[in-house]
């Protein structure tokens, strides 16, 4: 695990400090563990909120996971050692977005949050899933009963930095970032109330389709991520917000649908990742040699084409693979 401190106490030192007899021997290194639990904050728009069917009467998730030689049942029963609290909605279809009823884990007080074992139905509605599922499934072997992992997901379908009408992800009061801060803070307090010390290991992002023609995406990410790291520095390693990893994902660039400016926007995502050793991105591209080629149906199939619905949203298999890819970056960079 990350940040464990190891102290080797020599027998002579042990005798001097404790007054033990010289024939007493140390049993080896004494391990002193930090008592924190890792937290992953997920944000973005619809592919993060979760606009992919896990079933739709056609068993999409079980088929996909069986094809990957994975047991799908924990995704339906709930992954007990990786807990998720989620909140999200589409904020642009009402005149006053503050009145919009979210889909959230806490049904009576959505903004307060509630952690539940990660499972299907934590997407945009109870029929849907987001990348939290592949993330939790892949991380579960690193979590323990007395040291669970926590996912806080606050995502808004259709959202962007340059939407003509507010709210947006710009870090201004009463907009989406402010709501992310409030929801994240509430859930960190929930973790503390459970008796744990939460540490935010990563801010995980999937967004950009609404900003695909933007020429200011790097600056917008600098604003967003910089603000997040500053606002949550007290929950970062050593109180240093720059230690919070930022994990992005490229937006869809495959053959089924074409966003204007997608290549330019993805280039800006890669550019931002190069600004810090704690910035990362999932190469989900169709155009790079090692890209994951995460796919969307490309038509309004109503969820009947590999589980994706609408023309923008990942198939069930690739929604799962996105979460898996986030988890692999977390594991490979010891963000656990």
Question: Tens of pLDDT along 275-332?
Answer: 999 999 999 999 999 999 999 987 766 667 788 888 889 999 999 999 999 999 999 9
Kindly give, in sequence order, each residue whose CB lies less than 8 Å from that of residue 284, ignoring residues fewer than 6 positions away: 249, 250, 251, 252, 291, 292, 293, 294, 322, 325
Instruction: Tell me the C-alpha distance between 206 and 64, whole Å.
Output: 22
Confidence (pLDDT) at 313: 93
Quick one: average pLDDT of 223-228? 97
Q: Which two tokens stand for residue 58?
A: 């056609």
List alpha helices for 78-156, DSSP H: 132-139
Quick one: average pLDDT of 1-9? 38
Residue reference for tokens 């909140």: 87
Question: Tens of pLDDT along 257-277?
Answer: 878 899 999 999 999 999 999
What DSSP character marks residue 286? Answer: S
Confidence (pLDDT) at 29: 37
Query: Under a CB-based contact definition with an 8 Å cutoff, are residues 69 and 63 in contact?
Result: no
Question: Tens of pLDDT along 108-145?
Answer: 999 999 999 999 999 999 999 999 999 999 999 999 99
Question: Tens of pLDDT along 38-58?
Answer: 999 999 999 999 999 999 999
**Top-confidence residue, 282 or 10:** 282
Tell me: pLDDT of 69 over 50.
Answer: yes
- Nearest CA-CA partner of 129 in 296, 323, 330: 323
Q: Which two tokens stand for residue 64?
A: 């996909």
Instruction: Tell me the C-alpha distance between 299 and 173, whole Å.
Output: 36
Q: In the chain, what percentage of residues exceed pLDDT 90?
A: 76
Confidence band (pLDDT; 50, 70, 90) for 233? very high
Confidence (pLDDT) at 302: 66
Return mean pLDDT, the chain.
Answer: 88
> Which string of b and e fits 259-281 if b means at least 16 CB within 10 Å?
bebbeebbebbbebbeeeebbbb
Tell me: pLDDT of 6 over 90.
Answer: no
Instruction: Tell me the C-alpha distance between 150 and 146, whole Å.
Output: 12
Instruction: Tell me the C-alpha distance between 95 and 67, whole Å.
Output: 44
Instruction: Tell me the C-alpha distance between 9 and 15, whole Å.
Output: 10
Confidence (pLDDT) at 94: 72
Reduce the DSSP state of residue 82 to 3 states and report it. strand
Quote the distance between the C-alpha of residue 319 and its chain's center: 12
Asked if omega into 226 is within 30° of 0 (cis), the reply is no
Kindly give, in sequence order, each residue whose CB lies less than 8 Å from that of residue 84, ignoring residues fewer than 6 positions away: 105, 115, 116, 117, 118, 122, 132, 136, 150, 151, 152, 153
Instruction: Tell me the C-alpha distance between 88 and 199, whole Å.
Output: 23
- Residues linked to residue 149 through DSSP beta bridges, in sequence order: 82
Confidence (pLDDT) at 256: 87
78 burial class (0-12, 13-18, 19+ CB within 10 angstroms)?
middle
Tell me: pLDDT of 334 over 80.
Answer: yes
Quick one: average pLDDT of 75-83? 98
Confidence (pLDDT) at 167: 86
Q: What is the dihedral of CA 226, 175, 122, 90, to 10 degrees?
A: -130
Question: Tens of pLDDT along 31-40?
Answer: 335 589 999 9
Confidence (pLDDT) at 21: 36
Ordered by where they begin, the domains of the chain are: 1-34 (no CATH), 36-332 (3.40.50.1110)
Confidence (pLDDT) at 303: 66
Question: Tens of pLDDT along 136-195?
Answer: 999 999 999 999 999 999 999 999 998 877 789 988 877 899 999 999 999 999 999 999
Residue ranges of E strands in the chain? 5-7, 30-32, 36-44, 52-53, 79-89, 103-104, 116-118, 128-129, 149-156, 197-206, 245-249, 279-282
Tell me: pLDDT of 22 over 50.
Answer: no
Q: Which two tokens stand for residue 143?
A: 């979590």
Quick one: average pLDDT of 212-230? 96
Confidence (pLDDT) at 240: 98
- Nearest CA-CA partner of 227 in 251, 205, 250, 209: 205
């Amino acid at each position: 695990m990350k940040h464990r401190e190891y102290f080797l106490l020599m027998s002579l030192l042990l005798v001097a400090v404790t007054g033990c007899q010289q024939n007493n021997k140390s049993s080896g290194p004494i391990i002193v563990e930090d008592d924190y639990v890792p937290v992953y904050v997920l944000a973005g728009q619809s592919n993060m909120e979760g606009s992919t069917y896990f079933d739709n009467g056609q068993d999409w998730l079980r088929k996909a996971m069986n094809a990957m030689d994975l047991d799908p049942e924990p995704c339906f029963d709930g992954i007990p050692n990786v807990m998720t609290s989620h909140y999200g909605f589409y904020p642009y279809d009402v005149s006053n977005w503050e009145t919009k009823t979210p889909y959230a884990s806490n049904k009576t007080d959505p903004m307060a949050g509630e952690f539940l074992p990660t499972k299907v139905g934590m997407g945009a509605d109870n029929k849907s899933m987001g990348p939290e599922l592949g993330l939790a499934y892949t991380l579960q072997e690193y979590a323990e009963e007395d040291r669970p992992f926590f996912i806080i997901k606050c995502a808004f379908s259709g959202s962007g930095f340059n939407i003509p009408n507010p709210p947006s992800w710009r870090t201004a009061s009463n907009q989406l970032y402010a709501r992310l801060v409030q929801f994240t803070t509430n859930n960190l307090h929930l973790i503390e109330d459970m008796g744990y010390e939460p540490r935010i290991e990563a801010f995980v992002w999937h967004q950009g389709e609404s900003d695909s023609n933007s020429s200011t995406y790097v600056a917008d990410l600098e604003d967003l991520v910089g603000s997040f790291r500053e606002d949550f520095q007290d929950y970062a390693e050593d109180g240093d917000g720059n230690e919070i990893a930022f994990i992005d994902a490229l937006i869809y660039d495959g053959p089924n649908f074409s966003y204007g400016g997608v290549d330019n926007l993805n280039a800006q995502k890669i550019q931002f990742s190069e600004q810090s050793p704690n910035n990362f991105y999932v190469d989900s591209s169709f155009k790079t040699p090692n890209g994951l080629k995460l796919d969307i149906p490309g038509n309004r199939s109503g969820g009947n084409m590999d589980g994706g619905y609408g023309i923008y949203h990942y198939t069930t298999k690739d929604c799962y693979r996105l979460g898996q890819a986030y988890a692999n970056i977390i594991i490979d960079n010891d963000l656990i």
